[in-house]
Amino acid sequence: MTTATLTAEPDFYHEKTRFKGIFGWIFSTDHKRIGILYLIAIITFFLVGMTIGVLMRLEMLYPENTIITPQTYNTFFTLHGIIMIF
């Protein structure tokens, strides 16, 4: 009678990816990694939108052009609105 030996290899679906490093994170189908990437994107966009909002508020402190030009203010206003919606 023959005996078979079994190897203890992990059979995780997320370890069988073709990509390593940052591409392994970006193209992952693992729900935990997707959640972490989603949280990072939310925090990044929030910080960018908040920074633009603070710059707009600083510009409105004084009646003259102190920090940014009127065209840049209009651009910041639009970008801030779009970022905060999404």
Tell whether 35 is covered by a domain.
Answer: no
Give domain status of residue 18, yes or no.
Answer: no
On whether residue 27 sits in a domain, the answer given is no
User: Which pLDDT score, from 0 to 100, does residue 40 have?
Assistant: 95
Residue 54 lies in a domain: yes
Domain that holds residue 60: 43-86
Number of Cβ within a 10 Å radius of residue 52:
19
Number of domains forming the structure of the chain? 1
In the predicted structure, residue 70 carries a pLDDT above the cut 80: yes
User: How does the average pLDDT of the chain come out, rounded?
Assistant: 84
Confidence label for 84 from pLDDT (cuts 50, 70 and 90) = confident
**pLDDT tens for residues 27-69?**
888 899 999 999 999 999 999 999 999 999 999 988 887 888 8
38: in domain: no
For residue 4, being part of any structural domain is answered with: no
What are the C-alpha distances in Å from 26 to residues 17, 38, 46? 11, 11, 20
**Does 16 map to a domain?**
no
Residue 84 lies in a domain: yes
